[in-house]
Amino acid sequence: MASAYQNLSSYDPATVPDASKMRFGIVVSEWNRSVTERLLEGACNTLERHGATDGNIHVFRVSGSFELTYGAQQVIKYADVDAVITLGCVVRGDTPHFDYVCQGATQGITTLNATQDIPVIFGLLTTDTMEQAEERAGGKFGNKGDECAVTAIKICDFICKLKK
């Protein structure tokens, strides 16, 4: 949903299940670190607010947003997690590089979701300006990290209910 219509940090806490028994991997891009670290902080704070413990939140860093797919794939393969959250930020520049990175990361994460048993949450900001990114990383539109954490908790609960 476009953040112009909804604050990314706005949700009804009563609709979020208890996360105390859930394990999360977070793959965060080091590129545009001033933004991605705030996304990470939002995600971790939200997970903890809903019961996840520090020991059940595992953070892994990759160099850029294009590497989020590979990082998420390796977390699925080697870490004992119930969901993976990917966090990155790509800001449009003067070359088509933006399009390639955004399309590649989007397709890669979509492919992981279609082929793996562990859900991968898409937390890639794709903005025209750094100001827009900052507005979505704890600014006037909230924090995309919060939204990703809530999504991860809800999809884990969804899977748990299916397996009963």
Choosing from 97, 99, 107, 129, the catalytic residue is: 97
pLDDT of the residue at 11:
83
Check if 50 is active-site: no
pLDDT score of 129:
95
Q: What is the pLDDT of residues 24-54, one digit of tens each?
A: 999 999 999 999 999 999 999 999 999 999 9
The tokens 């953040």 sit on which residue?
3
pTM of this structure: 0.94
Interatomic CA distance for residues 93 and 122, integer angstroms: 22
User: Can you give the pLDDT at residue 33?
Assistant: 96
Which of 36, 117, 129 minimizes the C-alpha distance to 80? 117
CA 27 to chain centre: 8
Distance CA 152, CA 164 (A): 19
**Helices and strands in the chain: count of H runs, count of E runs:** 5, 6
pLDDT of residue 1 exceeding 50, the answer is no
pLDDT digits (tens, 9 = 90+) for 66-84: 999 999 999 999 999 999 9
Q: Which residues contact 111 (CB under 8 A, 6 or more apart)?
A: 69
Chain centroid, CA 100 distance in Å: 20
pLDDT, position 135: 94
| Contact present, 90 and 98 (Cβ < 8 Å) | yes
